């Protein structure tokens, strides 16, 4: 699997040459717009319009592309929000009779091991909306029992009477034989509701995860369909021939029409853009192995990408808002701590930061309304935020208020500053732990990676975090505030297809017909969008008896190579392999890709400088347990080739980079900050 | 560099040691072979100081909480460790719990020390360790029938695996290749822990480490004492019962008395009055009893409080020797871990509810409903052994219904997907559903249990180890008891025969095995109108988590 944006020899999409390419990422606070204007990348930032997110999108388009034909790529939080707030559709869940409750039972585990008062999980499908069909398909795909037409008519009547707004159908072993599922679908079509069927959404075994994925799709379908199709209509009305594509959680682009049918594929649209954006910028700057670190207000996302192993990693075991989703998504690990996380001493006297967050309301103390110490207050108190330029001066920070309240809450610590420094250390310890989960715990040594930091808080904490992990290089990409939109702009168009087959390894050479069938479907789907793509075949293999699979590239003319790769990967990831052990073919996967137009930004010449023209202040900043006089630089005034030594702060609109003593930042030819981190002064 | 331990240093250190336990667990999960470890996550890893006191443990299996330290103590007592050694053990009478749980202990020697600065340990539940019954969880009558017993011995000496010891172990189990892989994974996990512990030792230096470890244990102790200070003074007595031991029909009593001293912030837990050890396999060694107490104390704290030896300091535990809560050889113990441990928690909570009524839920299902099926798969001609536990209803909480069909208290293992099951075994699942109305009624209702029907497509041996058939999961504060569990087999001719909770039967192809797990008890007197007990549907009332 190749990752996008990086120049590649693949066929590119068919597109009018004078299209204006735009990517718009709707976030909680800002709607970021990135576009290519005469080969130059430009950024526009607007405040989001939560009531109707499309208003900000249309507004942005008006501002940049009046009268031009427009090709929009969009990242939306509509799906995530509907899931978090449980505000999706009333879904009727139709499954094999006797298994109606499985959608609620799940894997029968509890989320919190030691909490007798854990809340009752809310199933997306209330019980009165679960329906059973008298039918059964065997593991081998044989139909053992199927419903009569009369029984299907009764089912349709029951679903109609239930007041459902959307339908999810997931029968046992439907991926092995979809016939009954198709009959049920046909019988329910007369209701005129959106229908999601499991053999189309996710034709893979493990009934709960497949059903759950199908239900999420149905849950979001009415809302997302309305939103996306309206948006496309309005874009088309304003800009003749305008078209809208959407970022999927997998990091690939898909048309709005397809996204409207399969909204489950776009729930983590925005974060996926961030991963792709960071990865692209790093590749262009010449870094092949990165750990991404995106620290926001309430949480922090970390991820790992390695050019040697297919770039950013995909997972099929995501959980969003407590609900499993098994379509491919970029693997992003989230830690429950960010700038707004609240610090407190627990009953045993230990300092804790998060997971409670001050959020936007009341927000940190320094925003004027909050009363509990947060990470942002600590950074302000230690001189690491520029009170005047924070968010371009649109939010004024009350340092005195923060200082007074931190002093009142400092417990047995000597000073408010000591408390603040402690908050920073504890939250950075949590970030370090999150990065260890995606690196060390998966067999990667973080010292071989470049830490790519973005988001409001990432650059503030990146250097000291790198020291703790013994990472010697940090990169703060250009446009850290619009990275997600940039990622969308240059992502490939991708659709994923899969099929559980559960065959013995000996069948490896005979899989061509199944792949060919998937490929035909993929080609037809792309053709319908006016696209021409190329297909990549992979297979999920495992040793017989195992409960997990490894995904390896598949070539019917070189199946021995496929097997070798499997044994090799198994050795690498799990520490052992056994060529004598029988292998099982679990899932076949096909990824259809139409590569984005290659884009390489012009690299500007490096002219050695010290950035003094960008220096606007000298202030006291707390670094490594000391208060040090530090220079403050405006990032947008720095030039390629400038070198800045810590202690220093480099501030910009959405963020600030803290450069501790011993660190050296270089502005590279693409305006990234590339920081060399020396071993710290230690504990 | 000398540090004074403050709230910040403590938080940083705690995070560092906890991540060692987590990284060991990740390594074990990644490298183990058997589904019971990989998929159901029946394992634990922990790190201990040079005196064998636990300082961090991964959050996986509550039943391992109190018993891991005893394994390390047993290894320290039995072996004069040298650098590069790893001990292995499973004997419940020498640091183990039940035979399938195999524990490895590695002493961590820092460069210049003759004494370990840390110990790290990994434990995993192995799918078979020999004995009379496939899966080693059957209705044995003495420990010699339950599998191979391993006292603390060195499986690795000076960095090299002792092949003779390994061969001896592997010759005694049914699936030696799988065992070999899982044991390798445990060795690997210990080495990951060793590497990280050495880094920690280097970073802090021995003097600072000692200060930090002492402070961490004191911290845990303070957390528990703070909770115990809020308890009512006095003694609170409760009892609960296991149906029988699977050999005779006599119910087995678990009696417990909690004696709180809020002034000192301490508690005495006394199991005097519990049944003498029994003929069947539901005897528990003291390590299990310690785990049950550890679990209950741990639940009084916040979800993310670290599990360290400090938690047990305010506890004085009294167990009568030779009883069902402190069994002596040669009692069989396979079920003590999975069934008796749950009943101890039930008894402890019943007593605790008298001291702190608003903080304690009614009884949960109280049985893991262990099911083992063995036979020959007609599709391949190869023998198979299937083992799984089934969840039940959670007891109702003050101001909150119980959750339906969920693992509670001492276990949290996952179910096997039906589609995975039917690929792997000659079974067809007929039904998997909430067991309506099984949760005890009350102002707040107990969670419902589950119903599972499995058709056997071949002749097979079915072994059941379950409880809560006679004594039901209790309600509290006027809430009704949960429904008892039930199991039956319906043959191809449609004749249904009820099964006792603990039994092993030959069953013919075409038969349908039906298991109904108990519901949780209700909390508070039932209001006029009966509520729908199926908790998963109703919007949840907001959590009333204490404190």
Question: Which residue from A109, A122, A139 is facing B540, i.e. has the nearest CB?
Answer: A122
**What pLDDT is attached to residue B356?**
94
How far apart are the C-alpha atoms of A328 and A275, rounded to whole Å? 14
**What pLDDT is attached to residue A210?**
97
How far apart are the C-alpha atoms of B7 and A127, rounded to whole Å? 48
**What pLDDT is attached to residue A393?**
66
CA atoms within 13 Å, Cβ hemisphere of B74: 26
The two structure tokens encoding residue A366? 């320094």
Q: Which residue of A has its CA nearest to B301?
A: A114
DSSP characters over A50-71: TTSHHHHHHHHHHHHHTTS-EE
User: Mean pLDDT, to the nearest integer, of A468-479?
Assistant: 94
Give the mean pLDDT of chain A: 90
User: Mean pLDDT, to the nearest integer, of B17-24?
Assistant: 93
Which residue in A572, A501, A576 sits closest to A541, CA to CA?
A501
The answer to whether the CB of B374 falls within 8 A of the CB of B334 is: no
pLDDT tens profile B496-521: 999 999 998 999 999 999 999 999 99
B4, B6, B408: best mutation site toward chain A, by most A Cβ within 10 Å? Answer: B6
User: Mean pLDDT, to the nearest integer, of A499-507?
Assistant: 93
pTM of the model: 0.90
Q: In DSSP terms, which residues pair with A245 in a beta bridge?
A: A73, A255
Sort residue B387 into left (φ over 0), alpha (ψ -120 to 50) or beta.
beta
How far apart are the C-alpha atoms of A281 and A292, rounded to whole Å? 11
Backbone φ, ψ for residue B325 (5° rounding)? -105, 5
For residue B530, pLDDT over 60 is answered with no
How far apart are the C-alpha atoms of B21 and B118, rounded to whole Å? 12
The two structure tokens encoding residue B154? 């060195």
| Nearest CA distance, B52 vs chain A (angstrom) | 23
DSSP characters over A35-54: EEETTEEEEEEEE--TTSHH
CB count, 10 Å around CB of B384?
18
User: Mean pLDDT, to the nearest integer, of A562-569?
Assistant: 91
The answer to whether the CB of B440 falls within 8 A of the CB of B416 is: no
| Nearest CA distance, B226 vs chain A (angstrom) | 7
Whether the bond between A355 and the residue before it is cis, its omega within 30 degrees of 0, is yes
pLDDT tens profile A339-398: 999 999 988 888 999 888 887 778 899 988 899 999 999 999 999 988 777 766 667 889
Burial of residue B233, with CB atoms counted within 10 A of its CB: 0-12 exposed, 13-18 middle, 19 or more buried = exposed
Would you call B27 and A441 a contact, using CB atoms and an 8 Å cutoff?
yes
The answer to whether the CB of B32 falls within 8 A of the CB of B182 is: yes
CA distances from A240 to A24, A65, A228, A235, A243 (A): 18, 12, 17, 8, 9
Whether the bond between A58 and the residue before it is cis, its omega within 30 degrees of 0, is no
**What pLDDT is attached to residue A680?**
55
For residue A10, pLDDT over 50 is answered with no
ipTM score: 0.91
For residue B546, pLDDT over 90 is answered with no
Task: Check residues B178 and A514 and name the one with the higher pLDDT.
Answer: A514
**What pLDDT is attached to residue B339?**
96
pLDDT band at A5 (very low <50, low <70, confident <90, very high): very low
Q: Which residue of B has its CA nearest to A130?
A: B537
Chain A residues within an 8 Å CB radius of B394? 110
Burial of residue A428, with CB atoms counted within 10 A of its CB: 0-12 exposed, 13-18 middle, 19 or more buried = buried
- SS3 of B284-317: the string is CCHHHHHHHHHHHHHHCCCCCCCCCHHHHCCEEE
With tokens 């109609």, the residue in question is: A160
CB count, 10 Å around CB of A48?
18
**What pLDDT is attached to residue A77?**
85
**What pLDDT is attached to residue B541?**
37
How far apart are the C-alpha atoms of A610 and A630, rounded to whole Å? 14
The gap from C-alpha A625 to its chain's centroid, in whole angstroms, comes to 35
pLDDT tens profile B191-209: 999 999 999 999 898 889 9
Q: Which residue of A has its CA nearest to B416?
A: A107
Residues 6+ apart with CB under 8 A from B498: B486, B487, B488
**What pLDDT is attached to residue A516?**
95
How far apart are the C-alpha atoms of B312 and B228, rounded to whole Å? 12
Which residue in B485, B476, B483, B469 sits closest to B522, CA to CA?
B476
Question: Which residue from B7, B35, B430 is facing A345, i.e. has the nearest CB?
Answer: B7
User: Mean pLDDT, to the nearest integer, of A490-499?
Assistant: 93
For residue A1, pLDDT over 50 is answered with no
Chain B residues within an 8 Å CB radius of A110? 394, 403, 406-408, 412
Instruction: Among A144-153, A626-635, B131-140, B228-237, name the one with the lowest average pLDDT.
Output: B131-140
In 3-state terms chain B splits into helix, strand, coil percentages (rounded to 5) of 30, 25, 45
**What pLDDT is attached to residue A389?**
72
For residue B535, pLDDT over 80 is answered with no
pLDDT tens profile B295-348: 999 999 987 888 899 999 999 999 999 999 999 999 999 999 999 999 999 999
The enclosing H or E element of B167 equals helix B163-171
**What pLDDT is attached to residue A612?**
94
For residue B183, pLDDT over 50 is answered with yes
Give the mean pLDDT of chain B: 91
Question: Which residue from B359, B419, B430 is facing A206, i.e. has the nearest CB?
Answer: B419
| Nearest CA distance, A96 vs chain B (angstrom) | 9
How far apart are the C-alpha atoms of A409 and A400, rounded to whole Å? 14
| Nearest CA distance, B479 vs chain A (angstrom) | 17
Interface of B with A in 229-268 (CB under 8 A): none
Chain A residues within an 8 Å CB radius of B1? 683
pLDDT above 90 as % of chain A: 67
Which residue in A54, A547, A351, A249 sits closest to B415, CA to CA?
A547
| Longest CA span, chain A | 82
| Nearest CA distance, A573 vs chain B (angstrom) | 7
The enclosing H or E element of A283 equals helix A269-285
**What pLDDT is attached to residue B5?**
64
Which residue in B216, B299, B158 sits closest to B20, CA to CA?
B216
DSSP characters over B29-76: HHH--SHHHHTS--EEEEEEETTS-EEEE-SS-GGGTTTHHHHHHHHH
CB count, 10 Å around CB of A321?
17
């Amino acid at each position: 699997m190749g990752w996008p944006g990086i120049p590649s020899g693949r066929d590119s999409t068919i597109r009018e040459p004078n299209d204006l390419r735009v990517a718009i990422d709707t976030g909680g606070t800002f709607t970021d717009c990135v576009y290519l204007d005469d080969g130059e990348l430009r950024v526009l930032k607007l405040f989001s319009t939560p009531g109707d997110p499309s208003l900000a999108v249309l507004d942005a388009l008006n501002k940049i592309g009046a009268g031009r034909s427009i090709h929009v790529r969009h990242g939306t939080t509509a799906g995530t929000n509907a899931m978090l707030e449980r505000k999706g559709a009333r879904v009727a869940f139709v499954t094999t009779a006797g298994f109606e409750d499985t959608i609620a039972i799940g894997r029968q585990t509890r989320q919190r091991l030691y909490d007798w008062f854990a809340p009752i999980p809310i199933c997306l499908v209330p019980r009165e909306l679960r329906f059973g069909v008298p039918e059964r398909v065997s593991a081998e795909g044989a139909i053992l029992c199927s419903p009569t037409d009369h029984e299907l008519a009764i089912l349709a009547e029951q679903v109609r009477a239930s007041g459902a707004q959307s339908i999810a159908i997931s029968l046992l072993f439907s991926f092995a034989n979809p016939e009954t599922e198709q009959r049920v679908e046909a019988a329910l079509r007369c209701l005129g509701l959106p229908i999601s069927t499991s053999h189309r959404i996710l034709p893979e075994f493990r009934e709960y995860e497949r059903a759950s994925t199908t239900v999420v799709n149905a849950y979001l379908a009415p809302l997302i369909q309305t939103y996306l199709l309206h948006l496309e209509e309005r874009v088309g009305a304003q800009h003749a021939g305008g078209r809208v594509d959407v970022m999927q959680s997998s990091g690939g682009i898909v048309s709005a029409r397809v996204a409207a049918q399969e909204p489950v594929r776009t729930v983590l649209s925005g974060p996926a853009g961030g991963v792709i954006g960071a990865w692209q910028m790093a590749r262009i700057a010449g870094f092949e192995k990165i750990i991404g670190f995106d620290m926001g207000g309430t949480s922090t996302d970390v991820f790992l990408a390695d050019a040697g192993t297919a770039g950013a990693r995909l997972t099929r075991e995501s959980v969003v808002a407590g609900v499993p989703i098994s379509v491919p998504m970029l693997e992003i690990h989230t830690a429950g701590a960010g700038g707004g996380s609240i610090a407190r001493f627990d009953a045993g006297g230990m300092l804790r930061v998060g997971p409670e967050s001050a959020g936007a309301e009341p927000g940190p103390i320094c925003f004027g309304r909050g009363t509990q110490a947060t990470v942002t207050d600590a950074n302000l108190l230690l001189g690491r935020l520029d009170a005047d330029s924070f968010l371009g001066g649109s939010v004024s920070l009350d340092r005195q208020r923060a200082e007074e309240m931190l002093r009142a809450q400092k417990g047995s610590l000597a000073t408010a500053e000591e408390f603040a420094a402690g908050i920073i250390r504890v939250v950075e310890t949590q970030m370090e732990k999150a990065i260890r989960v995606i690196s060390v715990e998966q067999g990667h040594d973080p010292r071989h990676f470049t830490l790519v930091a973005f988001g409001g808080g990432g650059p503030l904490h990146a250097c000291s975090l790198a020291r703790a992990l013994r990472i010697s290089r940090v990169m703060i990409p250009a446009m850290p505030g619009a990275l997600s939109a940039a990622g969308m702009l240059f992502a490939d168009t991708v659709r994923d297809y899969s099929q559980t087959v559960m065959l013995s390894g000996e069948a490896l050479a005979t899989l061509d017909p199944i792949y060919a069938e998937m490929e035909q479907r993929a080609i037809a789907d792309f053709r319908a969008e006016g696209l021409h793509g190329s297909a990549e075949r992979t297979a999920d293999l495992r040793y017989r008896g195992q409960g997990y699979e490894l995904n390896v590239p598949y070539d019917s003319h070189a199946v021995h190579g496929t097997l070798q790769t499997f044994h090799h990967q198994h050795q690498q990831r799990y520490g052992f392999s056994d060529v004598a052990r029988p292998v099982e073919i679990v899932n076949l996967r096909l990824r259809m890709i139409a590569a984005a137009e290659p884009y390489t930004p012009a690299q500007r010449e490096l002219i050695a400088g010290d950035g003094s023209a960008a220096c606007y202040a000298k202030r006291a900043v707390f670094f490594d347990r000391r208060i040090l006089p530090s220079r403050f630089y405006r990032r947008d005034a720095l030039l390629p080739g400038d070198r800045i030594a810590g202690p220093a702060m480099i501030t910009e609109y959405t963020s600030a980079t803290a450069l501790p003593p011993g660190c050296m930042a270089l502005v590279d030819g693409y305006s990234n900050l590339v920081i060399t981190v020396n071993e710290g002064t230690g504990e | 560099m000398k540090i004074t331990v403050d709230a910040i240093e403590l938080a940083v250190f705690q995070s560092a040691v906890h991540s060692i336990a987590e990284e060991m667990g990740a390594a074990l999960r990644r490298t183990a072979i058997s589904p019971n470890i990989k998929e159901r996550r029946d394992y634990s890893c922990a790190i201990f100081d040079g005196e064998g006191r636990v300082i961090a443990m991964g959050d996986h299996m509550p039943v391992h909480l109190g018993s891991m330290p005893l394994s390390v103590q047993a290894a320290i007592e039995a072996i004069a460790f040298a650098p590069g050694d790893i001990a292995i053990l499973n004997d419940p009478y020498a640091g183990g719990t039940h035979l399938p749980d195999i524990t490895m202990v590695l002493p961590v020697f820092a460069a210049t020390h003759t004494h370990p600065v840390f110990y790290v340990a990994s434990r995993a539940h192995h799918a078979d360790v020999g004995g009379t019954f496939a899966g080693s969880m059957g209705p044995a009558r003495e420990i010699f029938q339950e599998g191979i017993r391993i006292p603390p011995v060195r499986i690795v000496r000076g960095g090299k695996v002792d092949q003779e010891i390994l061969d001896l172990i592997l010759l005694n189990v049914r699936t030696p290749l799988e065992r070999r892989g899982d044991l390798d994974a445990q060795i690997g996990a210990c080495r990951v822990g060793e590497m990280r512990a050495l880094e920690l030792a280097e970073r802090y230096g021995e003097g600072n480490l000692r200060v930090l470890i002492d402070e961490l244990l004191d911290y845990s102790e303070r957390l528990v004492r703070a909770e115990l200070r809020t308890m009512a003074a006095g003694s609170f007595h409760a009892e609960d019962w296991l149906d029988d031991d699977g050999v005779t029909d006599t119910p087995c009593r678990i009696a417990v008395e909690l004696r709180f001293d809020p002034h000192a912030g301490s508690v005495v837990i006394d199991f005097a009055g519990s049944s003498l050890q029994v003929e069947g396999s539901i005897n528990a060694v003291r390590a299990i009893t310690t785990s049950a107490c550890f679990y209950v104390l741990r639940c009084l704290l916040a979800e993310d409080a670290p599990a360290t030896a400090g938690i047990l300091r305010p506890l004085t535990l009294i167990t009568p020797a030779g009883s069902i809560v402190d069994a002596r050889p040669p009692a069989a113990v396979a079920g003590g871990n999975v069934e008796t441990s749950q009943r101890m928690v039930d008894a402890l909570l019943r007593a605790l509810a008298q001291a702190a009524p608003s903080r304690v839920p009614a009884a949960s299902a109280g049985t893991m409903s262990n099911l083992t099926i063995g036979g020959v798969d007609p599709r391949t001609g190869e023998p198979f052994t299937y083992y799984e536990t089934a969840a039940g209803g959670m007891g109702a909480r003050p101001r909150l219904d119980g959750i339906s069909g969920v693992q509670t208290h001492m276990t949290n293992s996952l179910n096997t997907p039906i589609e995975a099951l039917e690929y792997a075994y000659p079974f067809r699942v007929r039904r998997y559903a909430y067991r309506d109305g099984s949760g005890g009624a009350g102002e707040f209702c107990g969670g419902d249990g589950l119903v599972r029907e499995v058709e056997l497509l071949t002749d097979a041996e079915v072994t059941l180890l379950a409880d809560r058939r006679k004594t039901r999961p209790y309600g509290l504060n006027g809430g009704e008891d949960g429904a008892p569990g039930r199991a039956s087999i319906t043959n191809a001719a449609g004749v249904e025969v009820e099964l006792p909770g603990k039994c092993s039967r030959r069953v013919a192809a075409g038969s349908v095995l039906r298991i109904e797990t108990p519901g949780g008890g209700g909390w508070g007197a039932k209001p006029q109108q009966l509520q729908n007990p199926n908790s998963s549907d109703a919007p949840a009332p907001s959590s009333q988590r204490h404190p």
